[in-house]
């Protein structure tokens, strides 16, 4: 049986948890992109309750709320060894812009678990 989670309530719990984190840990996003496997594109902003809203975009809003100039969110997904999102616009790309991964451990890509990744207690499951 597949468990489905309530996205809005889950993201709310996630934000409540990360909002308790110290400001110092968020400065890693200054002038950087947030990397995630949740998206297939690059976005500068994503509104709450937008169909693209996810943990990474909720994190982006929290980073901006703290006054940190994060550039946006981008996909960490690759196709045939190449990132599907390499160009971030305004002359920025992966060669001249830091991308900070914010997700769970990925065996396939080798990404380590981020301190910003969702944890089990963040999820609110539907009945």
Range of the domain at 33: 7-117
- How high is the pLDDT of residue 127? 81
Average pLDDT of adjacent 10-residue blocks, the chain of 127 residues: 90 97 97 97 94 97 97 97 95 97 94 97 93
- For residues 67 and 110, the answer to whether their CB atoms sit within 8 Å is no
- How high is the pLDDT of residue 56? 98
Residue 78 lies in a domain: yes
Residue 125 lies in a domain: no
What phi, psi does 72 have (nearest 5°)?
150, -160
Structural domains in the chain (count):
1
- How high is the pLDDT of residue 3? 84
Residue 1 lies in a domain: no
Tokens (6 digits) for 67: 């006054």
- How high is the pLDDT of residue 2? 81
* Ramachandran quadrant class, 125 (left: phi over 0; alpha: psi -120 to 50; beta: rest): beta
């Amino acid at each position: 049986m597949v468990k489905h989670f309530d996205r809005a309530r889950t993201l709310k719990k996630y934000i409540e948890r990360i909002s308790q984190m110290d400001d110092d840990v968020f400065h890693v996003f200054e002038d950087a992109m947030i990397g995630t496997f949740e998206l297939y594109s690059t976005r500068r902003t994503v509104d709450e309750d937008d169909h693209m809203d996810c943990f990474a975009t909720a994190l982006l809003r929290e980073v901006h709320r703290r006054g940190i100039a994060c550039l946006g969110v981008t996909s960490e997904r690759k196709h045939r060894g190449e990132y599907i999102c390499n160009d971030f616009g305004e002359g920025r790309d992966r060669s001249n812009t830091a991308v900070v991964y914010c997700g769970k451990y990925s065996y396939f890509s080798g990404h380590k678990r981020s301190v910003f990744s969702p944890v089990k207690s963040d999820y609110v499951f539907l009945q």
